[in-house]
Amino acid sequence: MKYHIEKQGMDVVISFRQLGGEAEAVIDAIGRCRQGAANCASGECMKIADMETCVNGDELAVRLSPRDDAALSVAGLGECLKYQLPRKTGA
C-alpha cells in the first residue's frame, strides 16, 4: 500500500493505491484516529471535522475537512498515519 497526502484548499486529501483489499481497514484506522483524537501523536485528529471516502478498485481517496477553528497539517497527518494504518504501508 502506498499513499500520498496533499492540501486542497482548507481540506487535506490522502490518496491510497495498491491497497491489496485493505480499503476498509484503512477507513477504520482513520475513523479510530478521529474517535480517539486525544491519543493522537500529532494532535491533528482533534482538528478533523469531516471525512469523506471514495473507493475505486484498489485505490482510495480520503478527504479530511478541518473544524472551523483549525487548519490541518500535511506533516501532522503523515505522523498520525504512521501509527494508525495497517503496517504494510509505504509513503
User: How far is 39 from 88, CA to CA, in rounded Å?
Assistant: 22
**pTM of the full structure:** 0.85
Give the domain ranges of the chain. Answer: 2-84
Residue spans of the chain under pLDDT 50: 89-91
pLDDT at residue 89, rounded to an integer: 44
Which of the four CATH numbers 3.30.930.10, 1.10.10.60, 3.30.1360.10, 3.10.20.600 does domain 2-84 have?
3.30.1360.10
How far is the first Cα of the chain from the last one, in angstroms, to the nearest whole number?
8
Measured CA distances, 11 to 1, 7, 20, 28, 53 (Å): 22, 6, 26, 20, 13
pLDDT at residue 62, rounded to an integer: 95
Residues 76-90 pLDDT 10s: 888 888 877 766 544
State the amino acid at position 25 in one-letter form.
A
